[in-house]
Amino acid sequence: MDSKARAKLVARFRVTAGKGFRLRDIDPADTDGFRGDKADAEAQMAEGMARLAELQDKLYAQDRWAVLAIFQAMDAAGKDGAIKHVFSGLNPQGCMVEAFKAPSATELDHDFLWRHSLALPRRGHIGIHNRSWYEEVLVARVHPEVLARQKLPAALESKSIWDERLEDIAAFERYLGRQGIVLLKFFLHISPEEQKRRFLARIEAPEKNWKFSAADVAERQHWQEYQSAYEQAIRATATAAAPWHVVPADHKWFTRLVVSETMAEAMEGLDLHYPEVAPEERARLQAAKAALAKED
């Protein structure tokens, strides 16, 4: 796959302006013409991962930019697998991975962005967030009891709270961009039929039982509510500077290909390069080389 084909693949699933966006316009089973050719996609992904590893090395050495990839999805859509495979070739010293679960008592005593702010990647690093601040306009929206536990003053729990939170998130993401943090937002879009199949596979395989909870089935009853919440979140926060990438997730191999190509393309656009050595430092290096040669 040449550079034009890679760019076309990434652009197809990128959402930069949320107005009018509809999840139903994206087929969760789409493979963009690969026609189920898993081997071809995996070969392309290996190439993308190699590019990503080289770019990470320059990102770390240059120490100017940071990259933050956040993953959102319904249960069993493949977030863990995508993170595991796409980033497997990177230097762990340059990565910061966080998986956000239900907030602790301490976290509930702070604003909803507090714990996420603490987990932002340093310059030169790639941050990977398994779930993110978007949970505060997704699960908290679908389950009112989650919002109740946040102990907000009653006057602030207005009918417009979700629009206000989305506005705050959009402003926060603009701030991050202005600080040199490149934000890549992935929504892994799975169909209810494929989720059901994966749930059954987890139940039938003892080594996968730990990944399944009866609560996961209960959440399926809220499928349309979640789809609506995701749609509204994407509409409100998709911008050219902080786009969403709505990635078909019924075929794991295709999901991983799109994520790896999206990461590589974004980092290639940063003009990353190794720091140049000043002439006086180069002279010292040559002197050190000569000194080492004399030891022989």
Q: Enumerate the domain spans of the chain.
A: 3-295
Please, are residues 114 and 107 in contact by the beta-carbon 8 Å criterion?
A: yes
Please, are residues 66 and 120 in contact by the beta-carbon 8 Å criterion?
A: yes
Predicted pLDDT at 35: 56
Predicted pLDDT at 84: 94
The alpha-helical segments, DSSP class H, found in 63-143 are 79-86, 105-108, 114-118, 139-142
Q: Give the architecture (CATH level 2) of 3-295.
A: 3-Layer(aba) Sandwich (3.40)
pLDDT digits (tens, 9 = 90+) for 242-270: 999 999 999 999 999 999 999 999 999 99
Q: How far is residue 251's CA from residue 256's CA, in Å, rounded to a whole number?
A: 9
Write the Ramachandran bin of 16: left for phi over 0, alpha for psi from -120 to 50, otherwise beta: alpha
Residues lower than pLDDT 50 in the chain: none
Predicted pLDDT at 19: 84
Predicted pLDDT at 111: 96
